[in-house]
Amino acid sequence: MIMFISSHSKSASMASFPVDWQEWPVVARHKVYSADTVLPDDASLFDQESVYSYTWINGGQGSPLTIRVHPDKFEQYRTHGPYTDGITVIAVAESGNLIWVTEHVGGFPIYGSYDFNGEDISDTHLSLDPDYCHACHYTYKDICINGTCFTPETKEK
């Protein structure tokens, strides 16, 4: 069997676009840090990478970040799985016209990045390549469990 792996193709989102994302319950309001953010010297490598990977968003101005979970998957998200198939959770850079998507297939997380209109933008920046998402979400297994990193307590109304 021959596996064809192209290293030259443009990256494409693996997770799909959640068409009705604006209806999904909000579970957290965080932020994307601005380019002038300086972390304390003792910040963990994970924090440094998470913050500095995305300071380019919204022209370096930072952005409110909203985490929305699929209406049927709050309990799964709260316990970091086990996850049923389909889009699980999204992170929306409100001022950045950017939606990060985490979907699960057969229990495994896959990733994608879209603008608010559903245009796949994963090839517009290295840090939006699904491989790049996976590298962080998979490496820090004590923080990102089964592909999700945050642990919500409740949903917002």
Residues near ligand HEC, by CB under 6 A: 30, 49-50, 53, 65, 67, 89-91, 100-102, 111-113, 128, 132-133, 136-137, 148-150
Q: Structure tokens of 47?
A: 């924090």
Closest to 17 in 3D by CA, of 105, 73, 86, 77: 86
5 by Cβ neighbours in 10 Å (0-12 / 13-18 / 19+) ranks as exposed
Q: Alpha-carbon Rg of the chain, whole angstroms?
A: 15
Q: How far is the CB of 118 from ligand HEC (least distance, A)?
A: 15
In the complex, the smallest distance separating the C-beta of residue 110 from ligand HEC, rounded to whole angstroms, is: 9
Output the smallest distance, CB 1 to ligand HEC, in A.
30
Q: Which is nearer to ligand HEC, 3 or 23 (CB)?
A: 23
Distance CA 3, CA 36 (A): 44
Q: Which two tokens stand for residue 122?
A: 């994963």
Which C-beta is closer to ligand HEC: that of 3 or that of 42?
A: 42
Report the residue number, 104 or 137, with the smaller CB distance to ligand HEC: 137
| β partners of residue 26 | 68
As measured in angstroms, the least distance from the Cβ of 52 to ligand HEC is 8
Q: Which is nearer to ligand HEC, 5 or 88 (CB)?
A: 88
